Amino acid sequence: MNAYGLMIALGVVVAVWLWGKRVEARGVGTRDDISSIAMWAVPAGIVGARLYHVVTDWSRFSNNYGDIVKVWQGGLGIWGGIALGVVVGMWATRRKGLDVLLVVTCAAPALAIAQSIGRWGNWFNQELFGRATTLPWALEISADKTMSAGFPVGTTFHPTFLYESLGCALLCCVLLAVDKKIPLRPGRLFFVYSAGYTVMRFFIEGLRLDDAHQAGGLRLNQWVSLAVFAISVGFLVREALWYRRSEPDPSNVPPYGDLQ
């Protein structure tokens, strides 16, 4: 649907605006620089997201290769999008002669807000909803979609797209606050983003009803979330230990009267 693509595009526009604003505020580069980098990173992210979805749901495409390019019908895997988009974005940043890690730091909250907005495309496509529920905010979908999911018409579901949208918006705010108040070396804010997102995604993924590969009682994306979370937290713990070791020992600092 056109509305799906519109929400993805709107998320990209807002993200590039926030990214450029943060880069200029830090004196790292200009908004024009970020627009130029985004011209490479955004298409790469979409390609990566689509490839991840196609590879992890190959049975849907193995007999109909033409559907691989039909991105507007839904089917973007965030893991592939972040992986390829960030790598290509770092390459484009280096090509511009900017500080790669500082630009990545500025990009972290922008990634979260892009996901927050883009998730509304799933609502327009009536996809990726969760288990049946009668909660006041439950989602009602079309009769065809309800029956194809194996439920009687009138059943309402967890709006998992909404949970993730709100969660990513909150994550964006948390990242902005952390970046302002906690001293982190350049690039480390990205791992705060990936740790925060994977925690949220793990639980939301457990509510979803769409078909997915499973192992050990968990969906594929839950396993990926666990792996990315472990790597992210491990890196942040290592960073915290480094920061603690780099602080001067108060017992070795001479009193003010002894300073020359």
pLDDT of residue 122: 85
Q: For 87-108, how does the pLDDT look when each residue is reduced to its tens digit (9 = 90+)?
A: 999 999 999 999 999 999 999 9
**What is the average pLDDT value for the chain, to the nearest integer?**
88
How is residue 76 written in tokens?
A: 């973007």
Measured at the alpha carbon of residue 68, what is the angle toward residues 63 and 72, in degrees to the nearest 5? 130
Q: Give the confidence band of 196 by pLDDT, cuts at 50, 70, 90.
A: very high
**Looking at per-residue confidence, does 180 or 68 come out higher?**
180
CB distance 121 to 46 below 8 Å = no
Q: Give the confidence band of 210 by pLDDT, cuts at 50, 70, 90.
A: confident
68 has a pLDDT exceeding 90: no
Alpha-carbon distance of 230 to 237, in angstroms, equals: 10
Highest mean pLDDT among 52-56, 139-143, 253-257: 139-143
Q: Which residues of 149-166 are buried (b: 16+ CB within 10 A; e: fewer)?
A: eebeeebbbbbbbbbbbe
pTM of the predicted model as reported, rounded to 2 decimal places: 0.86
Residues 6+ apart with CB under 8 A from 125: 1, 3, 4, 73, 74
